[in-house]
Amino acid sequence: MGLPRLTWTRRLVRCSIRAVCRAALKGLARVHAEGLEHLPRQGPAIVVINHLGDADVVLLLAYLPTCPEALASIDLIEYRWIFWLLQLYGVIWIHRGRPDRAALKAALQALEEGRILGLAPEGRQTLIGGLGPGTEGVAYLAVKSGAPVIPIGITGTFNWQVFPKLRRFQKIEVSLKVGPPLRFPPPSKADRKRALQRATEEIMLALARLLPPEYQGIYRDKIGQERSAEA
């Protein structure tokens, strides 16, 4: 399907969606935000988050200075109104669970055009209640394009934390912590595979460092060892 064109209609839709997200957060949530100075004002840049629940998208759109390009699973076609809204916004559709060269090509094109890309390196909402293993897609895009990777740690947005409170008209407590950008030099041909593995690990550990222990998932022990060594 390729990279969506930034028509005036699409720009208007994105601005409207972002305005709704900001209004929703103001009225329905108490947000603790740190490190906002690290947010990119312009691209190319790759913003990565830990993906807890549906509200992650609202938080990201409300706080980013500009609307990012996003990848979304083509499986969402089953949910008509969500699929329709994402079509209006203009996402890069991706087939989850297998390498999708067309989606990666569109994402690289977005970075070449100086856009900001928003991704969840886990590839989906967490299944383990914390940070799961990262896929190598983000590392590939960062190494191939030279774009910086900006990690954002999010807490309080699990669906089970958000929706029950909203039904009782209670404000939700969420946090957003932005880390400094990561850059990855192009590797040699012989070292390419290991370089992607190292970059993926570095990205996931950067995310984990922005999260409290109960959100760090499979990276909790490594972060604990790091902090013990620093003490």
Q: How far apart are CA 58 and CA 18, in angstroms?
A: 8
Contact 141, 108 (CB under 8 A): yes
Burial class for 2, CB neighbours closer than 10 Å (0-12, 13-18, 19+): exposed
SS3 sequence of 185-216: CCCCCCCHHHHHHHHHHHHHHHHHHCCCHHHC
107-123 tens-digit pLDDT: 999 999 999 999 999 98
217 inside domain: yes
Stated pTM of the model: 0.93
pLDDT per residue as tens digits for the range 84-141? 999 999 999 998 777 788 999 999 999 999 999 999 999 889 989 999 999 999 999 9
Percent of the chain topping pLDDT 90: 75
Q: How far is CA 175 from CA 32, 62, 145, in A?
A: 5, 13, 30
Q: Which domain holds residue 112?
A: 8-230
pLDDT digit string (tens) for 151-208? Answer: 999 999 999 999 999 999 999 999 999 999 999 988 877 788 899 999 999 999 999 9
> Tens digits of per-residue pLDDT, 23-78?
999 999 999 999 999 999 898 999 999 999 999 999 999 999 999 999 988 888 88
Domain contains 3: no
Q: Is residue 1 part of a domain?
A: no
Task: State the CATH number of the domain containing residue 126.
Answer: 3.40.1130.10
Q: Give Rg (Cα) of the chain.
A: 17
Q: Which helix (H) or strand (E) holds 172?
A: strand 172-178
Query: Does residue 1 surpass a pLDDT of 70?
Result: no
Domain count of the fold of the chain: 1
Q: Does residue 176 lie within any of the structural domains?
A: yes
Q: Do 35 and 14 touch, CB atoms closer than 8 A?
A: no
The pLDDT-based confidence of 81 (bands split at 50, 70, 90) is confident
Which burial class, exposed, middle or buried, applies to 31 when counting CB atoms under 10 A from its CB (0-12, 13-18, 19+)?
middle
Write the DSSP assignment of 114-125 as a string of letters: T-EEEE-TTSSS
